[in-house]
Amino acid sequence: MTSRMLEMTWQKFGEKMRNGAVVILPLGSTEAHGLHLPLGVDVITSTGFAELLAGEINGVMAPPLVYGYKGETGGGPIYTGSIELNAVTLINLVHDVLEELVADGAKKIFIMNGHYENEMFLLEAMDLITRKYPDVKIVESAWWDQVDDELIEQIFDEVPFPGWTVEHAAIAETSLTMYFRPDLVHMDRFVEEEQIRVLNYHVSPLKREIYPSRGAPSTSRSASRKKGELMVGKIMQGFLKVVKEEFR
Amino acid sequence: MTSRMLEMTWQKFGEKMRNGAVVILPLGSTEAHGLHLPLGVDVITSTGFAELLAGEINGVMAPPLVYGYKGETGGGPIYTGSIELNAVTLINLVHDVLEELVADGAKKIFIMNGHYENEMFLLEAMDLITRKYPDVKIVESAWWDQVDDELIEQIFDEVPFPGWTVEHAAIAETSLTMYFRPDLVHMDRFVEEEQIRVLNYHVSPLKREIYPSRGAPSTSRSASRKKGELMVGKIMQGFLKVVKEEFR
Amino acid sequence: MTSRMLEMTWQKFGEKMRNGAVVILPLGSTEAHGLHLPLGVDVITSTGFAELLAGEINGVMAPPLVYGYKGETGGGPIYTGSIELNAVTLINLVHDVLEELVADGAKKIFIMNGHYENEMFLLEAMDLITRKYPDVKIVESAWWDQVDDELIEQIFDEVPFPGWTVEHAAIAETSLTMYFRPDLVHMDRFVEEEQIRVLNYHVSPLKREIYPSRGAPSTSRSASRKKGELMVGKIMQGFLKVVKEEFR
Amino acid sequence: MTSRMLEMTWQKFGEKMRNGAVVILPLGSTEAHGLHLPLGVDVITSTGFAELLAGEINGVMAPPLVYGYKGETGGGPIYTGSIELNAVTLINLVHDVLEELVADGAKKIFIMNGHYENEMFLLEAMDLITRKYPDVKIVESAWWDQVDDELIEQIFDEVPFPGWTVEHAAIAETSLTMYFRPDLVHMDRFVEEEQIRVLNYHVSPLKREIYPSRGAPSTSRSASRKKGELMVGKIMQGFLKVVKEEFR
Amino acid sequence: MTSRMLEMTWQKFGEKMRNGAVVILPLGSTEAHGLHLPLGVDVITSTGFAELLAGEINGVMAPPLVYGYKGETGGGPIYTGSIELNAVTLINLVHDVLEELVADGAKKIFIMNGHYENEMFLLEAMDLITRKYPDVKIVESAWWDQVDDELIEQIFDEVPFPGWTVEHAAIAETSLTMYFRPDLVHMDRFVEEEQIRVLNYHVSPLKREIYPSRGAPSTSRSASRKKGELMVGKIMQGFLKVVKEEFR
Amino acid sequence: MTSRMLEMTWQKFGEKMRNGAVVILPLGSTEAHGLHLPLGVDVITSTGFAELLAGEINGVMAPPLVYGYKGETGGGPIYTGSIELNAVTLINLVHDVLEELVADGAKKIFIMNGHYENEMFLLEAMDLITRKYPDVKIVESAWWDQVDDELIEQIFDEVPFPGWTVEHAAIAETSLTMYFRPDLVHMDRFVEEEQIRVLNYHVSPLKREIYPSRGAPSTSRSASRKKGELMVGKIMQGFLKVVKEEFR
């Protein structure tokens, strides 16, 4: 039984809405992720988790949004292939999709984010919708929100955890992509570069000189499919707890 | 060699742009298509053609836009599962994606539309972009644009061609879905209904009473995978001709 | 008794609204129409039909919107004198006018379109309004929607019907202008040019080379006031039927 | 020789632009003007002056904008028949029309305003355009800007001048309408009411209780076609002086 | 007891709202005011009056908006230091602040304007809000609205009153600033210049040649703190009368 | 010598721009901060730091923006007195102010943020501006960005550091307000409440039940003016380092 909305008939979807199913909306980005990972990492991971979650809770996975907000850590605008939306566009897009889901009877919506910089714009769209439809509840989370200290230690067993802001195309994302789409990971192309210098401020235009030439701001050397599997297991537990808390 | 942008590294994509590759952007909709077809028909067909075309011309298929404008013939708002964008949202979305492709060096863009009602909003986004970047050329087409009279006769061999406006979830779309995703077609669920009454005007709100209860405005009885294959062959010839004409 | 809103007092208009009169809103464009027709053809025809219809059904003709969306077949941007609105502007404009009519008690509104490219943006404005005011009904139609095969044969008695997309400044529009404003038709300035090549795709920027130097994409040689009169009669029957169907 | 753009061919208009002709864009409103004047007073007067001015200076009168901003003195929203645009809509509308005129070669544009409350939104549109196209000059004026003290004394010979804010549907506007469209003035329906109380502040919602039941905030008893003629003469002198000053 | 909202706790503010207190929202501009006055004159005066009024009526002064619309008389764009908002931005900003005040229980709002060119955009925001929340009343006024003929004679005792449009950085504003922030007035830097030529039309771009090189369009020579005090007294009487009339 | 732009003449500001001075734009919020702190904490701290920084580097402090984005940790919408802007409004506001500063010659702009939830919208405005004006550099930082581990230990000497997300109206903010505006801190009103439960996801509408009734999500018991002073000293060192790095 598919949980992908795009593969359902409208009748099947309507039935699920009448039964109070949770709709899970994955969002990613199209963004450079080093030389060893594809542009779609954030789509692959968010869609991967969304589908797993929908399967677990008999929910529906709405079609994914594959373009996201401008990446900063990943250095989006610096590398070709990063296709990034303006803030207003992203807010309106998520707003409209949410409003239509609500119009179709969805009362429980879970936004599965796969790209950090999307977050605040998702919150804005959520707020605009729940002001209009106060009986709807919308949750937003991302896989990294569900990673606890214990898991961090397990993932970063060889190198110290550099903080989430530079964990772009690095051990965690690489391991997850190895789990969901191993065919798209090319560790042979990975070259260790100096880790990006983390600024304690933001600056525009982005400082090209601090971004690595290959697009991976920190090492992914010790990534593995096994770590990916471990992560997926623990993260899914986290998501299920959120769902239980908010949508029981 | 994949032509899916989401599966490429940024380096690979950048190389293609420097070589003048055509970027093909598929757009569909999430819309009711009767009881025998999934909500994603317009995504499946547009993405199907986009990928074939990208393969043929060594192009790049950009990640698909899976939500489209409000369907009229299909009666979008009447059936659950139709998730439709407001006009401004769709224009801005396509605008931003186009602008980012241009920023990455794309000069030849082919928008592969799979949902009729998207068309005018795509043209607006295209116009806004080419006014700003006059050296960029953007083509928009859809599979039905490439269907000639001969092919119509071959598809509509058992029933008369009802005109494109009611060809929703009908013989052509069903045959194409049988080609691209046969696993998602459920002809056993198809029930012949009275064909929708075609109005020679538009009215809002939509007239619920003229829409069929099951969501298929005209028959798909004589659809077949073979017809789908025939269509794909001829339509691809059409697209290739357009590409040759505009992007040689 | 005038049916032009601009010539009524507010009291008269209010009375009509209280009596459930239909408001007819004409929209045209300011667009090149060859050397033999004025820039205002789409305003002249839509206002002409709107006034006739208002007269027949004791309705009110709202003041006309004289600027429309960017013309494609007519090649708007290519010729001086084509003054064209961006999509968002047109949607907002029609939205606001409709909302104010509704605020004044209008429940039956007929948008009389005279410029093909306006259509989808009108539908968007209509949808935005009827979502907010579901007891309001808004119809949109254009004179060409009311032309049946018999009438086409009568108009295109000397040359084959080239399809509506190139019927710009051609036999139908010229005949109608001869009916409504014969003083503005200059057949002596008309020069036969090669018919525009019809593309089975859209491209931006417009291909200047396929547009005729004088701005008339197909012949208007056999236009006549008599044909205009015949058209007006039959088209008015069509509009009256729509009104009867929707607003009785 | 017509100066109405809508009645010209594109070729004629283009010629005028190449010769540096001034484009005059009239704007009015659709707004209640008492029981003795039609809803279109502001369109009639602005278009009347625009056409006269275009005739005098060999200019072009662009098609009029017939819907304006929300009236305050006239009490727009209180009376049926006042169809008023939101600020953003009006700004965008004027912006797009100006930008297209500029794209067609216009360098000298005269906005002929007929509705006071439009003014600031016109200035915004003008500013947005001239920032983008600094070699374009745009003037905005209205007939009341050109009325000097001497003329006020001649118009208000029987009653004192109440100030422009209440000169709505009153002696000046009535006299002008008597000049431009005498057939639309119904002095027999005019009933003297108490003059509106002028507030030295603004309040929203409008205070219904201070607006006269018939919609004429001050007397028009001593209006006459002769006064209208006198006004037109003097005001035209004013406009010609402005044109000479700015567009010589 | 402070009446500045920024200095209150949320509890104190909530209490005031439950007691039906009037919220006073000051708006100014950051705009050149000659060589003898600071950029913040319009903020200083509007905030000054807002705080006095809040004190008198036990109201609340909301935090001031310090950027306003583009100045025309003051010649904003011509002088450095004039930081001016686009119309849409200003409308949205005031709209959001008003809507949040309403959400917090405010039913009586007094917008204290200190920059003439803001006015129409404030009215738009007020209208958008009271359409949505018809039980809310919003008043807008400015100090010059409360100046009567007698006071004008007292202020302009040495020179004739030049009209409000050129009373920028002149006797009235200088006297008021001398009252509210004497430390920021530098009469020693004031140099008498020729008075700006007042146009009876608007033109864009602004005519640099008519603006004085120092930025004071008319004399402030006879300004004094005493005049400021006199003004404040009388103007406050005016504001109190408005409050009594509208918010009793 | 004041560094407050509002207190400068335009001439003085212009001089500073010609000398390459850094403009510092403070942004805060109007938001509930418990019973012991005023609504203006984020304005007080950001303006406080902005003024200090301007003084140190001979910069200019632009007038502060006093309304910010919707607070989540602080629970903005739950408490009266939180006046919060929609995302689009905030982006446009900051965009316009930045663009005007650039128009006046500013090339070095430092946005001093005092409210966490503003951040992403500031980055959007910054990106929109630097795309248009690539020779301008804009930095954004907040005081908490400049707090290092050593300082955290000094501030949180009695209780463990709860993480920045709950450091709202708590020890750090209270200490800073004690430094900048001791008269507005009412520790006597502070009542210890259970610390807010930190969610590892976002949910809309906000969960009222997890917010403390008094509005302080974690303790401020051990706040002191001395800690405030210590913080200001170290944080200023941080800001100066940023300025040196980016604007030397």
Cα–Cα nearest to B116, from B72, B159, B155, B147: B72
Radius of gyration of chain B (CA): 18
Residue E90 is predicted with a pLDDT of 98
Give the Cα separation of E173 and A3 in Å (integer). 68
For B12-40, what is each residue's pLDDT tens digit? 999 999 999 999 999 999 999 999 999 99
Do the beta carbons of residue D92 and residue C95 sit within 8 Å? no
The mean pLDDT value of chain F amounts to 96
Residue B111 is predicted with a pLDDT of 98
Judged against a pLDDT cut of 80, whether residue A246 lies above it is answered with yes
Give the Cα separation of F22 and F139 in Å (integer). 10
3-class DSSP state for residue A75?
coil
F10 touches chain A (CB under 8 A): no
Q: How many CB pairs under 8 A join E and F?
A: 170
- Catalytic option among E36, E140, E167, E168: E168
Residue B248 is predicted with a pLDDT of 83
Q: Which of A70, A139, A202 to mutate to test the interface with F (most CBs of F within 10 A)?
A: A202
- Is D42 among the catalytic positions? yes
Window 195-224 of C: residues touching D by CB (8 A cutoff) are 214-215
Residue C15 is predicted with a pLDDT of 97
Give the Cα separation of A237 and A244 in Å (integer). 10
Do the beta carbons of residue F30 and residue F67 sit within 8 Å? yes
Instruction: Test C141 with B246 for CB contact under 8 angstroms.
Output: no
Residue E194 is predicted with a pLDDT of 81
Residue F193 is predicted with a pLDDT of 83
F146 touches chain A (CB under 8 A): yes
C-alpha distances (whole Å) from D112 to each of B88, B157, D27, D29, D128 are 31, 62, 6, 12, 18
pLDDT band, residue E156 (cuts 50/70/90) = very high
Judged against a pLDDT cut of 80, whether residue B1 lies above it is answered with no
Give the Cα separation of D227 and D247 in Å (integer). 29
Indicate which residues of F carry an active-site annotation: 31, 33, 42, 115, 117, 168, 173
**Residue stretches of chain D with pLDDT short of 50:** none
| Extents of the domains making up chain B | 22-247
Instruction: Test E204 with D146 for CB contact under 8 angstroms.
Output: no
| Candidates A70, A119, A130; nearest CB to F204 | A130
E87 touches chain D (CB under 8 A): yes
For F116-141, what is each residue's pLDDT tens digit? 999 999 999 999 999 999 999 999 99
Radius of gyration of chain A (CA): 18
pLDDT (mean) for F38-54: 98
For E23-51, what is each residue's pLDDT tens digit? 999 999 999 999 999 999 999 999 999 99
Residue F195 is predicted with a pLDDT of 79
- The sheet carrying C137-142 orders its strands as B202-204, C137-142, C108-113, C23-27, C60-61
pLDDT (mean) for F138-155: 97
C242 touches chain B (CB under 8 A): yes
3-class DSSP state for residue A134?
coil
Residue D194 is predicted with a pLDDT of 81
B66 touches chain A (CB under 8 A): yes
Give the Cα separation of C97 and E1 in Å (integer). 49
Give the Cα separation of D178 and D37 in Å (integer). 10
For A155-200, what is each residue's pLDDT tens digit? 999 999 988 888 899 999 999 999 999 999 999 999 888 878 889 9
> A113 to chain F: nearest residue by CA?
F201
CA distance A85 to chain B (A): 6
| Percent of chain E whose pLDDT exceeds 70 | 100
Residue C176 is predicted with a pLDDT of 98
D246 touches chain E (CB under 8 A): yes
Give the Cα separation of A217 and A173 in Å (integer). 12
Contacting partners of chain C (3+ CB pairs under 8 A): B, D
Residue B13 is predicted with a pLDDT of 98
CATH number listed for the domain at residues A5-236: 3.40.50.10310
Cα–Cα nearest to E115, from E18, E40, E224, E190: E40
pLDDT (mean) for A220-230: 96
Judged against a pLDDT cut of 90, whether residue A76 lies above it is answered with no
Indicate which residues of A carry an active-site annotation: 31, 33, 42, 115, 117, 168, 173
Residue F151 is predicted with a pLDDT of 97
**CATH topology for D5-247?**
Rossmann fold (3.40.50)
3-class DSSP state for residue C108?
strand
For D190-240, what is each residue's pLDDT tens digit? 988 887 888 999 999 999 999 998 888 889 999 999 999 999 999 999 999
Give the Cα separation of C33 and C170 in Å (integer). 9
Do the beta carbons of residue D91 and residue C92 sit within 8 Å? no
DSSP C144-168: GGG--HHHHHHHSSSS----GGG-S
Residue C70 is predicted with a pLDDT of 97
Residue B165 is predicted with a pLDDT of 83
3-class DSSP state for residue E27?
strand
Cα–Cα nearest to C165, from C210, C123, C107, C214: C210
| Percent of chain E whose pLDDT exceeds 90 | 88
Indicate which residues of B carry an active-site annotation: 31, 33, 42, 115, 117, 168, 173
| Candidates E134, E140, E205; nearest CB to D134 | E205
DSSP E71-126: PSTT-GGGSTT-BEE-HHHHHHHHHHHHHHHHHTT--EEEEEE--GGGHHHHHHHH
For E16-25, what is each residue's pLDDT tens digit? 999 999 999 9
pTM of the model: 0.97
- Is D168 among the catalytic positions? yes
For F196-244, what is each residue's pLDDT tens digit? 888 999 999 999 999 998 888 889 999 999 999 999 999 999 999 999 9
| CB < 8 Å to F246, chain A | 201, 203
Do the beta carbons of residue D37 and residue D1 sit within 8 Å? no
pLDDT (mean) for A196-219: 91
C-alpha distances (whole Å) from E235 to each of C21, E81, E181, E228, F245 are 50, 29, 17, 10, 51
Residue B166 is predicted with a pLDDT of 85
The mean pLDDT value of chain A amounts to 96
E226: part of which helix (H) or strand (E)? Answer: helix E225-247
Residue D195 is predicted with a pLDDT of 79
C-alpha distances (whole Å) from C126 to each of B141, C23, C139, C244, D84 are 26, 14, 8, 20, 17
Could you give the ipTM of this predicted complex?
0.97
E8 touches chain D (CB under 8 A): no
Give the Cα separation of D84 and C8 in Å (integer). 16
**Residue stretches of chain C with pLDDT short of 50:** none
Give the Cα separation of A126 and A242 in Å (integer). 17
Q: What is the CB-side half-sphere exposure of residue C213 using CA atoms within 13 A?
A: 3
A137: part of which helix (H) or strand (E)? Answer: strand A137-142
Contacting partners of chain A (3+ CB pairs under 8 A): B, F
Window 35-64 of E: residues touching D by CB (8 A cutoff) are none
pLDDT band, residue F191 (cuts 50/70/90) = confident
Do the beta carbons of residue E38 and residue F8 sit within 8 Å? yes
Identify the architecture of domain B22-247 in CATH.
3-Layer(aba) Sandwich (3.40)
| CB < 8 Å to C4, chain D | 40
Instruction: Test D30 with C63 for CB contact under 8 angstroms.
Output: yes
CA distance A160 to chain B (A): 26
| CB < 8 Å to F70, chain A | 123-124, 127
